[in-house]
Structure 1
Amino acid sequence: MELSLVAEFSAFACMMILSVLIGLYYGFVERKQNTVNDYLLGGKHMSVFPITMSLIASHISGITLLGVPSEVYVYGTQYLVIGFINVFIIIIVIYIYLPVFYDLQLTSVYEYLELRFNSTIRGICSLIYAISLILYIPVVIYIPALAFNQVSGLNVHAITPIICVVCIFYTTVGGLKAVVWTDALQSVFTTVSVIAVIVLGFINIGGFGNMIKANADGDRLELFKMDVDPFLRNTFWTVSVGTTFSWITGLGIHPGAVQRFVALPSYNKARKSLIYFIFGMGVVKIFTGLIGMQIYAKYKDCDPVRAKFIQNDRNLLPYFVMDVASKIPGLTGLFISGIVSAALSTMSAQLNTVSGTIYEDFVVKMLGFKVTQLTASVIMKSTVVIVGVVCVALVIVVEKLSGILQMAISLSGVTNGPLLSVFTLGLCFPWANSRGALCGMLTSLAVMSWIIFGAQEAIMSKKLQFVQREVSVAGCPANITILNSTDYTGLYRMNDDVYVSPDVRKIFTLSYNHYSTLGTLIGVAVGLAVSLIFPTEQDYDPKLLTPCIRNFVFPKYMAQDKKPANGKPAPEEYALVPQDTKL
């Protein structure tokens, strides 16, 4: 038993030590992190592979690894349609968002809003982003700590500081290069752990055919529920449309993603990195969905939650791993390393990005002038430490929340729509002005906050409950106490997916997948209406419009003009993609 425990902790310790060593290397051996360009963009000498792996790793947190299997086990496979809609996301980002931001070569993507509208909109959007990130990172930290607790028994609040200290250290010392290469390393741990769990799962349940049969018999298999009702929790349309808006926010305008694309030396490499990332994420979603199907096939006759083997469905994957991998020393530790790696990569990427955002959009503005490169580097590194400490403290709050995947998507939905709407107004609508953009963004933020927090309050008070797929306890041991099934007393069934109290507003039952969709549509609609009602004379560089709109509105505009829209000189390879270049 002691030998097995040593093997588990050795796998975990190996990953943590390697992450620290990478930070030490880029911080002290290759000492090139003392300028803004080096710290945030890696000196623009990054290659496609580490950037792509970093993007994948930073988007695969414990929320994905634990949340998707739990989602599939409880609600079925409809969510997995997300793995097949990637081509639409690629087209939208490549043709609308990426060309403009790559041409501008901005340290902070929110500088675009000042160039297109004004500094007030830039400041508000930066503040919204920083706050949303500070609230999101504790969720990312808590999930792997919970998995570690399930396996090792160590207290969650003893684990989170250790994880965070390692992450803060290599992010602070090594900058973007350390973040990218640790992400690439950590993605290896994550990939190996996921594949190992899938292989062991198939061996344990008797193969792919048994998994499909069990899920079909349990009414879990579903990909093309084509009902267009936006109040159904998961359908083909709520998942595909909602995810498209959400991922455009995460790839097209997210400072972390744009920062990585800009860190590549050419636009073609940035485009390749995006394409590889999208397909990589699709594979990850499908793999984690397979694990959820395996978990159901394993426990179809004895639900671990109702049997009180685990507290709730967020513990399903750690419980499954301990069950199928307990006889192989070190494998459970490898799995935990994969979960923690996913959290570290996401946290480090967000910390590195938020430090640049706070510096460019707040510190420089408050000072009224740019400090020396060394001072700027010190300020950003100090910001990483401060934000990291705050996030550790906020884990206590996250611990009180329930759910994984839906909770994460719901919280991000508060800000995704407003932010995407203001960027879309600037890029796609030449007549949109600062007054319209501000009104649209604030209206969207207010409405989505009201809807989402109203829905969360209804969920916590049990006035809004979602219909879960049937589970069985027929195969459970006779000497255990079984939890009662969900109680819907006082609620009425609004549709196939929702039970709700009569006093809950219907808008609060909107599918969580559509939060980003609705927020974006509200922001764009209000922004355009206000811009048309209160038109203003505008003077901005046509490069601030997306190429397809720019070429239509300004047909005589020469794309070969190499003067950057931000007024900074740029090397030839960073200039705007010529009109005859196929995107």
Structure 2
Amino acid sequence: MGLGTLDVVMLVLSLLASAAVGVYFSVLGRNSTSVEYLLGGRTMKPLPLALSLMVGTVSAITIMGSAGEMYAYGTQLWLMDLGILLALFIIAKYFIPIMYPLELISLYQYIEKRFKSKWLRQATAVLQLVGGYLFIGFLLFPPSLALQSMMGLSFFVNIIIIGVSCTLYSTFGGVKAVVYADTLQAVVMIVGVLAIVIQGAVNMGGIENVLDIAYHGDRLEFFNMSLNPYQRHSFWLCVIYGFFFTLSNNAVNQSQVQRYFSTGSVRNAQCSVSTQLNSMTALLWEDFLKVLPVFRDWSEIKVGYLQKLIVFLSGVLGIVLGLAVSQFGKSFFTTVLAINGALTGPLIGLFIVALFLPWVPAKGATIGFILAIAFNGVMVIGQQSIPKAPYLPLSKEGCPATSIANVTANVTEIEDVATTIVTTLAPTLAPTLENITTTVTPSPVPSEGIADEWLFGLSYCLNPLWGSMLCILLSLIASAITGYNTPEDVEEKLVDPGMWRIFQRSLKLQIKESFYKTILRRRPRGDHNARDTSDETGTRDPLNNLMDTKDTKDNEIDGNGVV
């Protein structure tokens, strides 16, 4: 399998067009300030940002991974889109209206403002930096592997070509170049995917025939309503996974949040909910470098040049990591899942605590955050000991033996990427060349004899849920031990308005009032701020009248010296 002349021309043109976008915005904003470079002056339009957000989420990993996953395990994963829609509503309704008016560059500035903890802000930024730089390497791996199969170029050459192209337009053009290059790439991506679907359907005799083949191959599955948490996918597991996947990408991820920080208003940001390099630069500058004495007297233009240098060096680091990721071999895909599972859930939980639980102070949030990360780390490591579920039958009927040989030659290197890349390029995987049959049916996975399967055997779709729930629960428990916040400890604009109204009065006072009103059915003595128990007509509860009368008589008796 290889690319024709037209394919190569289109590929080169797309790379050159992306680089040209970077050059254009580099010339246009050669003296840009920090805000202009990192946030586009906060004047970006919703449509290109929406397309950029899509490209930031739907990467090569997603396109190849989703197709391979459904080919290997069925279409149940499609239902994660329902969770995505719910998460987008939550982000637009609750996250953006609080985050956007703060005029942040680094998303984790919010964590410092809310908890008054610079350490906690830097801890979240470090996690994002580590995950972000590794993710750059992961992003370079699949397309480079695909180009190696289709063009015959060295894998290392492909990584350098793609990495250099992205680095150059990100470095010189800033976030505007990234967004508009993403817009161009979104068009290419949509047209390319449609072309593959249409041509594939034509070659297979139409959509009806494709669906018929998928049905008889047990690929079509949409509403598995089982509540069993140990299966790979079900309706509930996929909805949960889609919900937390979107929160992790669009609510607590610097790369994506930086895009809607670039719009001109909250309304524009709410209309859409390779910025990876610029986002890493924003984190490094705002959370670590800006506070250093050496940079205090630097002009905005000089800072802009420094940020371009950071983006360039980040791109170089990403290329190096892309080359390093190739050495993971068969553990590549599981490594991506391990990092995502270990970091996203606790981070989502921390932001939920910050937005909706104003009672929790920095100490409680830190304890919950760290313990949740530790638990999720143990989970994703332990899950690697659990055998993978067997693939659905993988047909290679009609595929030439040479294709099988080419794919099988690298099977030990890309075993875990097989469902994400190789099966979409040439679904011809076979354990050995000598034993070629029409259908590959893997041996069933043993269901017993695996230590700790009760915990590590749980579906990977639940990993971010455990991290979020533990962070929230442990933060509350730790705060109950170390002490809660009072309204004087938190800024109102940093908390969800509905929760702030509940929080306005101290927790101790609310418990005291609840005890008097619901148990004793009376007002606390000496509490002039407590609400009267009279109803809207001004009529007081007779029981309260009786109790107040008794109190008055008792006081009179005490005043006369009668015991």
Aligned partners of 1:95 and 1:547 also within 8 Å: no
TM-score, normalised via structure 2 length? 0.78
Aligned partners of 2:132 and 2:276 also within 8 Å: yes
Structure 1 residue 96: Cα displacement:
2.0
Aligned partners of 1:63 and 1:405 also within 8 Å: no
Identify the range of structure 1 (196-205 vs 358-367) with the bigger mean alpha-carbon deviation: 358-367
Q: Match of 1:432, as an amino acid?
A: V
Q: Match of 1:158, as an amino acid?
A: V
Partner residue of 1:358 out of 284, 288, 311: 284
Q: Are 1:75 and 2:73 matched, yes or no?
A: yes
Corresponding position of 1:265: 264
Corresponding position of 1:465: 388
**Quick one: distance in 1 between partners of 2:208 and 2:135?**
38
Q: Are 1:379 and 2:306 matched, yes or no?
A: yes
Structure 1 residue 553: Cα displacement:
3.3
Residues 92-119 of structure 1: per-residue CA shift (max 9 Å, x gap): 1122211110111111110011111110
Aligned partners of 2:80 and 2:240 also within 8 Å: no
How is 1:143-542 mapped onto 2 (pairs within 5 angstroms)?
Answer: 143-274=142-273, 348-367=274-293, 370=296, 371-399=298-326, 400-402=328-330, 408-456=336-384, 458=385, 464-472=387-395, 481-482=434-435, 492-493=446-447, 501-503=449-451, 505-537=453-485, 539-542=489-492
Partner residue of 2:34 out of 30, 33, 36: 36
Q: Match of 2:446, as an amino acid?
A: Y
Residues 164-185 of structure 1: per-residue CA shift (max 9 Å, x gap): 1111111010001101100001
TM-score, normalised via structure 1 length? 0.76
**Quick one: distance in 2 between partners of 1:398 and 1:165?**
17
Identify the range of structure 1 (530-539 vs 229-238) with the bigger mean alpha-carbon deviation: 530-539
Corresponding position of 2:15: 16
**Quick one: distance in 1 between partners of 2:64 and 2:84?**
22
Identify the range of structure 1 (362-371 vs 219-228) with the bigger mean alpha-carbon deviation: 362-371
Query: Which structure is higher in RCO with an 8 Å CA cutoff and minimum separation 6?
Result: 1
Residues 469-506 of structure 1: per-residue CA shift (max 9 Å, x gap): 123456667996336957659x6226xxxxxx523543
**Quick one: distance in 1 between partners of 2:391 and 2:92?**
38
**Quick one: distance in 1 between partners of 2:332 and 2:223?**
24
3-state DSSP of counterpart to 2:251: helix
Give the % identical residues. Answer: 28
Identify the range of structure 1 (532-541 vs 232-241) with the bigger mean alpha-carbon deviation: 532-541
**Quick one: distance in 1 between partners of 2:290 and 2:87?**
34
**Quick one: distance in 1 between partners of 2:400 and 2:15?**
40
Identify the range of structure 1 (77-86 vs 158-167) with the bigger mean alpha-carbon deviation: 77-86
**Quick one: distance in 2 between partners of 1:486 and 1:219?**
13
**Quick one: distance in 2 between partners of 1:481 and 1:537?**
69
Q: Match of 1:103, as an amino acid?
A: P
Summarize the Cα distance change of 1:200–1:266 in structure 2 as closer, same or farther, 3 Å threshold: same
**Quick one: distance in 2 between partners of 1:247 and 1:439?**
25
**Quick one: distance in 2 between partners of 1:144 and 1:476?**
23
**Quick one: distance in 2 between partners of 1:193 and 1:472?**
25
In structure 1, runs of 5+ residues without a counterpart are 275-347, 495-500, 556-583
Structure 1 residue 208: Cα displacement:
1.5
**Quick one: distance in 1 between partners of 2:230 and 2:434?**
35
Summarize the Cα distance change of 1:451–1:478 in structure 2 as closer, same or farther, 3 Å threshold: closer
Corresponding position of 1:102: 100
**Quick one: distance in 2 between partners of 1:432 and 1:392?**
41
In structure 2, runs of 5+ residues without a counterpart are 403-432, 506-563
Summarize the Cα distance change of 1:547–1:94 in structure 2 as closer, same or farther, 3 Å threshold: farther
**Quick one: distance in 2 between partners of 1:212 and 1:88?**
28
Partner residue of 2:87 out of 86, 89, 94: 89
Aligned length: 468
**Quick one: distance in 1 between partners of 2:399 and 2:49?**
47
Q: Match of 1:493, as an amino acid?
A: S
3-state DSSP of counterpart to 2:290: helix
Aligned partners of 1:32 and 1:38 also within 8 Å: no
**Quick one: distance in 2 between partners of 1:18 and 1:396?**
25
**Quick one: distance in 1 between partners of 2:455 and 2:103?**
41
Summarize the Cα distance change of 1:502–1:531 in structure 2 as closer, same or farther, 3 Å threshold: same
Structure 1 residue 246: Cα displacement:
1.9
Summarize the Cα distance change of 1:69–1:541 in structure 2 as closer, same or farther, 3 Å threshold: same
3-state DSSP of counterpart to 2:336: helix
**Quick one: distance in 2 between partners of 1:226 and 1:410?**
27
Summarize the Cα distance change of 1:428–1:506 in structure 2 as closer, same or farther, 3 Å threshold: same
Identify the range of structure 1 (260-269 vs 502-511) with the bigger mean alpha-carbon deviation: 502-511
3-state DSSP of counterpart to 2:81: helix
Structure 1 residue 32: Cα displacement:
5.3
3-state DSSP of counterpart to 1:430: coil
Q: Match of 1:374, as an amino acid?
A: I
Q: Are 1:549 and 2:499 matched, yes or no?
A: yes
Summarize the Cα distance change of 1:544–1:66 in structure 2 as closer, same or farther, 3 Å threshold: same
Aligned partners of 1:22 and 1:182 also within 8 Å: yes
Residues 155-206 of structure 1: per-residue CA shift (max 9 Å, x gap): 1111101111111111010001101100001111111100100110110111
Structure 1 residue 363: Cα displacement:
0.7
Structure 1 residue 221: Cα displacement:
0.9
Aligned partners of 1:46 and 1:265 also within 8 Å: yes
Aligned partners of 2:360 and 2:484 also within 8 Å: no
Corresponding position of 2:519: none
**Quick one: distance in 2 between partners of 1:355 and 1:473?**
46
**Quick one: distance in 1 between partners of 2:498 and 2:30?**
38
Corresponding position of 2:526: none
**Quick one: distance in 1 between partners of 2:156 and 2:398?**
35
Aligned partners of 2:372 and 2:468 also within 8 Å: yes
3-state DSSP of counterpart to 2:330: coil
Summarize the Cα distance change of 1:264–1:383 in structure 2 as closer, same or farther, 3 Å threshold: same
Structure 1 residue 232: Cα displacement:
1.2
How is 1:112-123 mapped onto 2 (pairs within 5 angstroms)?
Answer: 112-117=110-115, 118-123=117-122
Q: CA RMSD in A?
A: 2.4
**Quick one: distance in 2 between partners of 1:204 and 1:403?**
34
Q: Match of 2:322, as an amino acid?
A: V
**Quick one: distance in 2 between partners of 1:234 and 1:403?**
21
Summarize the Cα distance change of 1:477–1:504 in structure 2 as closer, same or farther, 3 Å threshold: farther
3-state DSSP of counterpart to 2:275: helix
Identify the range of structure 1 (180-189 vs 76-85) with the bigger mean alpha-carbon deviation: 76-85
Summarize the Cα distance change of 1:24–1:529 in structure 2 as closer, same or farther, 3 Å threshold: same
**Quick one: distance in 2 between partners of 1:34 and 1:468?**
52
Summarize the Cα distance change of 1:468–1:507 in structure 2 as closer, same or farther, 3 Å threshold: same
